[in-house]
Amino acid sequence: MGHLLSETGFDALVPSNSLCQGTCDNLLAAGRDKSVRGYVGLQRPYYRGGDPALCGQAGSALRYSPNASLRGMDIPASLADDMSRIEPTRMHVLTPEERVRYPLD
């Protein structure tokens, strides 16, 4: 989804008093110009069957690489690494400095 949206050259906005988390992070990463007035929360992605290399339907041969996906949107692969270190039941809200480092702002 992020790659398709990235190709359209859309801008991404997280409004004041809003929280971008989960799939929203991928859409934010895909945005051409990003404006974050609210918060960006990172969570460890859920992968069906617990295998981050597989996505889609059970038995699917489709392979997915979060690092490669982010690099394709000019986002450092370290974002996927940092997300994988977050405990599954937790969320990490990015500081303004972290948003600049990734860059998601």
Number of Cβ within 10 Å of residue 11's Cβ equals: 9
- The answer, yes or no, to whether the previous bond of 103 is cis (omega within 30 of 0) is yes
For the chain, domain boundaries = 2-101
User: What is the mean pLDDT of the segment spanning 74-98?
Assistant: 89
Q: Which of 43-47, 49-53, 82-86, 92-96 has the lowest mean pLDDT?
A: 49-53
Q: Which residue has the higher pLDDT, 68 or 37?
A: 37
List Cβ neighbours of 50 (8 Å cut-off, separation of 6 or more): none
Dist. CA 81–CA 18, nearest whole Å: 25
Q: What would the pLDDT profile of 43-67 be if each residue is shown by its tens digit? A: 987 766 555 544 444 555 555 566 6
Dist. CA 65–CA 34, nearest whole Å: 23
